[in-house]
Structure formats: structure tokens, C-alpha cells
């Protein structure tokens, strides 16, 4: 297959101050179609000068038109944006599939759901209220104001590009902040297509700016610029740690969502066919490339073989192939680097003594074409000490660990540095409630897995992150509270003593 010349590929510019612009240095980089294993578009390669321009535009918009608008007007623009996303959902979903190789059924579904975030947070924009505090000092009136923070840097990954950006943009904009958004270098095309809708919705220029390029080249300039007041990041924990450190230099608040090693726990009283479907949805859906992947199956020893056999049967029938086909169930891995990482972890697990009962290699079936496919893989005989039980693989690789009783299950589930999510499969209400209390995870699903909503908080315990996205409280992450004191006494007390 001949490679298209870079010059023939469509080119996508950046969005700064409402204008579509080339990168300052005039450079471009290719973005790949993971199913075809070759570039399909060129993206502007931003440098620090582009970051500077975008921050300047966001800072001016924050002081200017956006700040001056009423909260109701801001909310109306967000809701209009939601309508535009709904009208363009299928087109945007297709761009995502072409760019990151995830199933069209999944990306289209996400895009059709995304408008709800803009409706919900658009509705919340004019319901942000301060408080009057019955202060303990006579003749003094004290109240609070909830104010936006300023310019928010949103740094997003490639696995659910627009969904994870929306989780930041919708509350941040509703709260009255402005944005510089750096999408992943592996999935910028859909961000730029989203960008076209901002102007149509009526956002003033500069309220949302999109700078494309490599995190390693422009990330530091973006996070450390003193005009950026808050950083919202989703990505790997190593990069998250780096971003947290950079933000700390400027004492900036952060929201970090950093992946996990989530446990799906199947007790012997579970509805086993349902549990098996839930475990498969946790690890093979989205090719395991999701922060909430249920990458550890903890299964009660008495039903271990029954559950593993059921998983094998389902994994064997999973249809791999073109992610643009509605019939495909497992698509490619998104990047060559991720593909190598997944295959490396398979080698590591074998080297540590885990037993591979299915998969365990690159997929070379004809329907996989020249894409970066990995066979759905299951390891049994996994020990807690193994890297496959502790580290995030971010691929279709399941580690199965048996347990004897509830106590041991909770102990194993909590014995990782992460704490993003957990699944519990049981018919016992007592078990459901005690497990959901004792599991150290930001989300616990009982008899379901991989459910999210704009209404319910999402985020990590431990190394899985800082702060919460979604739900009403998410907007607090983009506000700061001010206390205002008004003296009504009319006489100045002793200036040398605290009032
Ligand atoms: O993510 P990165 P990568 C995990 C998953 C995966 C691993 C690496 O385990 O294998 O992370 O993936 C930007 N300053 N997750 O390398 O590096 C980068 O450009 C500022 C979990 O793709 O975390 C991109 O926009 N920004 C996850 C964003 O950070 C920087 C989703 C995320 O990229 C930067 C994806 C820097 N120094 C991967 N370096 C999840 N939580 O869902 C990079 N970036």
C-alpha cells in the first residue's frame, strides 16, 4: 500500500481568538488512522509562541466580553452549543473513529450523549449563588461571591477525546472561565471540528482556544504560564505527576484524572452470565483503552473455572475489524506506542509466570488489515505482586485473581496505588453495601460496569486523580469563593487589635 504524500492530506489549523491559524513555525505533523496504520490528516504543530497567543486571547476574553455577559446569556450559549453538537454528532463521531480507531458505535454514542453536559452545565450557569453569613460580629454584613478562576488550561487524551474534553469545558465555561485546550497529538482532528461549532454557538472570540501540538513540546509553557489560573488534565499517571509538579510552581489548582487498575469482583452469589458480560464490557470494550477498564477480575475461587470458561467463550466470538463498521466489537489500539506497550505487558506477564489462556499476541486476522490490533488476552494464575496486577496496561488484557472470601477480595482490590473504579457482582444487598463502602475507588458499580453520567461525580482516589468531574459539584472546581465584609457600625475600632 503506498503512503499518501503529506502534501495531499487535509490540513487542520489551530483556533486562536476565533481565527483559524497556522502554527507560528509553519510546521505540521501527521495524525494516523489506526485501522489503516497510516496518516490521514495533517495537524498544525504549535510551539510556545502559539501557546502565548492563545493564552493572551483567553485572558483578554476573560476580562472582556465573557466576563461582562450575564450568567443566563452564558448558559444560553452553552445550550446552543449542545444543540450544534447534537446536529453534528454522527459526523464528529466518525472523525474520532478515523483518528483514534475506537468503535463508531461507541464514538457515535458518546457524541450523541455529549450535548447533555452542555445542557446540564448551561442550566447551572445562572444558579451559582453566594451566601449571606449570619456573622458573629454586630453591625457587620458578610456575604460570599462565587467567582470564575480565569484562564483554564484543558489538556486531554486520545481515548475519548471529545467526551473527556467536554467534562472540563462544560463546567469551566458555565462558571465563567475561558479556555486554552490542548488536545492529544493523537486525536486533534475531532477537537478542531468541535472548534468550528464554538463560533456558530455565539461564544465570543478567545473564550475557547485550541492549540495543537505535542505535550512534550508545549505542555510546560501552557501549564506554567502565570496567566493560566487552573489546569484540568486527563491522561496517564506519569504525565499527570509531571503536570501536577509544573502547576505547583505557580500554586495553581488542578483537576487530574489519571487512569487506574480497577477491579471487577465477582462473588459466588452473582448472576454469573450477567457478571461475565460485565467483565467483558470492562476490559474488551474500547479495546481496553479506557481509564475505567476493569483490568483485574477478582473471582471467588469456587466459581473461578465457570467464569473463566464463560469469558473465553465470549472473547472467542468477539468480532475484530474495521472500527467504522457497526458489526465490529474490538477495534485496533490507537497508537504504535500503545500497541508496543500492550505487547510488552503481555511478555512481562508471561515472564512473571501468569498463564495466558487466550490471545497473548498481536492480531493478524485478515479483517484486521494493517491496523495495530492485539488479540483479546486473558491471564490466569495472576499474583498481586505481578506488574500485570499493579500497572495500567490500557489494552485488551485481563488479569484474573482468585479469592476465598469477602475480606480477601476487598484487600486485593484495594492493594494498588490506583483508585478510579470498581465493579461488584453479587445478589446480596449486604455485600453490595459493605463492598461499596470499603472499596477505595471514586466510582463503585454494583451489577453493572462502565456507566457514567453528566449528573454523577467522577474521579479518582489515591493515584487515580485529584478533584471530581461531572455532577453539580464539578462546577466548584472552576470557581473560587470570595468573602465580602461590610461594616455598618460607622465607627472605626482600635486599629491595633484584630476585629
Ligand atoms: O498519555 P499522556 P499518553 C494512560 C495509559 C497510556 C499512558 C500513556 O496507560 O498507556 O497513559 O498515554 C499531554 N505537559 N492514559 O502518552 O502523556 C499530551 O499531549 C503537559 C490514561 O498518550 O498522559 C496529551 O494531550 N501536557 C488516560 C495528554 O497530556 C503533556 C488516557 C495526555 O497524554 C505533557 C490516556 C507535559 N509534559 C492515557 N506530556 C486516562 N486517564 O483515561 C504530555 N502531555
Residue in 96, 106, 185, 257 annotated catalytic: 257
Is residue 407 annotated as part of the catalytic site, yes or no? no
Confidence of residue 6 (pLDDT cuts 50, 70, 90): confident
Query: What is the number of the ligand 1 atom nearest to the C-alpha of 213?
Result: 19
pTM for the model stands at: 0.97
Which residue owns the Cα nearest ligand 1 atom 30?
A: 215
Residue of 215, 244, 291 best suited for mutating to test ligand 1, as the one with most atoms within 8 Å of CB? 215
Angstrom distance (rounded) from CA 2 to CA 38: 10
Pocket of ligand 1 (CB under 6 A): 155-159, 182, 184-185, 215-216, 219-220, 223, 234-236, 239, 242-243, 257-259, 291, 338, 341, 392, 394
Confidence of residue 172 (pLDDT cuts 50, 70, 90): very high
DSSP category for residue 181: E
Confidence of residue 3 (pLDDT cuts 50, 70, 90): low
pLDDT tens by residue, 98-139:
999 999 999 999 999 999 999 999 999 999 999 999 999 999
Residue in 96, 106, 291, 469 annotated catalytic: 291
> How close is the Cα of 473 to the center of ligand 1, in Å?
25
> How close is the Cα of 215 to the center of ligand 1, in Å?
8
Query: What percent of the chain has a predicted confidence (pLDDT) above 70?
Result: 99
- The topology under which CATH files domain 6-258+464-482 is Aldehyde Dehydrogenase; Chain A, domain 1 (3.40.605)
Query: What is the number of the ligand 1 atom nearest to the C-alpha of 184?
Result: 25
> How many separate helices (H) and strands (E) can be counted in the chain?
16, 21
Pairing between β-strand 132-133 and β-strand 38-44 as defined by DSSP bridges: unpaired
pLDDT tens by residue, 221-279:
999 999 999 999 999 999 999 999 999 999 999 999 998 999 999 999 999 999 999 99
Question: Residue 404 pLDDT more than 80?
Answer: yes
Question: Residue 341 pLDDT more than 50?
Answer: yes
| Domain coordinates in residue numbering, the chain | 6-258+464-482, 263-446
Confidence of residue 495 (pLDDT cuts 50, 70, 90): confident
- Calculate the CA 323 to chain-centre distance: 20
Residue of 34, 55, 157 best suited for mutating to test ligand 1, as the one with most atoms within 8 Å of CB? 157
Question: Residue 2 pLDDT more than 50?
Answer: no
Confidence of residue 4 (pLDDT cuts 50, 70, 90): low
Question: Residue 428 pLDDT more than 90?
Answer: yes
* Backbone phi, psi, residue 230, to 5°: -155, 145
pLDDT score of 1: 40
Domain 263-446: which CATH class? alpha beta
> How close is the Cα of 68 to the center of ligand 1, in Å?
35
CB burial of residue 208 (10 Å; 0-12, 13-18, 19+) = buried
> How close is the Cα of 299 to the center of ligand 1, in Å?
31
Amino acid at each position: 500500500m503506498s503512503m499518501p504524500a503529506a502534501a495531499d492530506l487535509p490540513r487542520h489549523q489551530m483556533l486562536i481568538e476565533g481565527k483559524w491559524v497556522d502554527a507560528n513555525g509553519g510546521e505540521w505533523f501527521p495524525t494516523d488512522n489506526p485501522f489503516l496504520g497510516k496518516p490521514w490528516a495533517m495537524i498544525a504543530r504549535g510551539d510556545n509562541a502559539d501557546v502565548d497567543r492563545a493564552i493572551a486571547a483567553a485572558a483578554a476574553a476573560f476580562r472582556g466580553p465573557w466576563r461582562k455577559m450575564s450568567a443566563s446569556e452564558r448558559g444560553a450559549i452553552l445550550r446552543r452549543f449542545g444543540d450544534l453538537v447534537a446536529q453534528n454528532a454522527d459526523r464528529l463521531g466518525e472523525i474520532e473513529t478515523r483518528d483514534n480507531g475506537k468503535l463508531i458505535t461507541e464514538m457515535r454514542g458518546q457524541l450523541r450523549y455529549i450535548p447533555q453536559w452542555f445542557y446540564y452545565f448551561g442550566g447551572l450557569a445562572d444558579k451559582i449563588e453566594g451566601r449571606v453569613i449570619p456573622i458573629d460580629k454586630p453591625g457587620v454584613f458578610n456575604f460570599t461571591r462565587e467567582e470564575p478562576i480565569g484562564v483554564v488550561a484543558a489538556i486531554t487524551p486520545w481515548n475519548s477525546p471529545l467526551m473527556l474534553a467536554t467534562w472540563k469545558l462544560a463546567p469551566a465555561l458555565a462558571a465563567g472561565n475561558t479556555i486554552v485546550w490542548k488536545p492529544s497529538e493523537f486525536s486533534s482532528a475531532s477537537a478542531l471540528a468541535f472548534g468550528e461549532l464554538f463560533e456558530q454557538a455565539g461564544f465570543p472570540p478567545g473564550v475557547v482556544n485550541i492549540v495543537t501540538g505535542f505535550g512534550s513540546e508545549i505542555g510546560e509553557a501552557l501549564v506554567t504560564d502565570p496567566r493560566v489560573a487552573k489546569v484540568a488534565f486527563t491522561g496517564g499517571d506519569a504525565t499527570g505527576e509531571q503536570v501536577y509538579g509544573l502547576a505547583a510552581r505557580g500554586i495553581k489548582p488542578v483537576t487530574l484524572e489519571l487512569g487506574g487498575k480497577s477491579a471487577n469482583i465477582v462473588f459466588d452469589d452473582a448472576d454469573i452470565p450477567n457478571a461475565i458480560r460485565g467483565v467483558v464490557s470492562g476490559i474488551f470494550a474500547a479495546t481496553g483503552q479506557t481509564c475505567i477498564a476493569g483490568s483485574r477480575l477478582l473471582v471467588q475461587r469456587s466459581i473461578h473455572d465457570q467464569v473463566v470458561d464463560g469469558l473465553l467463550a465470549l472473547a472467542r466470538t468477539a468480532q475484530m475489524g474495521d472500527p467504522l463498521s457497526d458489526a465490529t466489537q474490538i477495534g485496533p489500539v490507537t497508537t504504535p506506542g500503545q500497541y508496543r506497550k500492550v505487547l510488552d505487558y503481555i511478555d512481562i506477564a508471561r515472564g512473571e509466570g501468569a498463564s495466558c489462556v487466550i490471545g497473548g499476541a498481536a492480531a493478524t486476522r485478515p479483517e484486521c488489515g494493517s491496523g495495530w490490533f492485539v488479540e483479546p488476552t486473558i491471564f490466569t494464575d495472576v499474583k498481586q505482586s505481578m506488574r500485570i496486577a499493579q500497572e495500567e496496561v490500557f489494552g485488551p488484557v485481563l488479569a484474573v485473581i482468585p479469592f476465598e472470601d469477602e475480606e480477601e477480595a476487598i484487600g486485593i482490590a484495594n492493594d494498588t496505588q490506583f483508585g478510579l473504579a470498581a465493579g461488584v457482582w453479587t445478589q446480596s444487598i449486604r455485600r453490595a453495601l459493605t463492598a461499596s463502602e470499603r472499596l477505595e475507588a471514586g466510582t463503585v458499580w454494583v451489577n453493572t460496569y462502565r456507566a457514567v453520567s453528566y449528573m454523577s461525580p467522577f474521579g479518582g482516589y489515591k493515584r487515580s486523580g485529584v478533584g471530581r468531574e461531572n455532577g453539580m459539584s464539578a462546577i466548584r472546581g472552576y470557581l473560587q469563593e470570595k468573602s465580602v465584609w461590610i461594616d455598618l457600625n460607622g465607627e472605626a475600632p482600635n486599629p491595633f487589635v484584630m476585629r
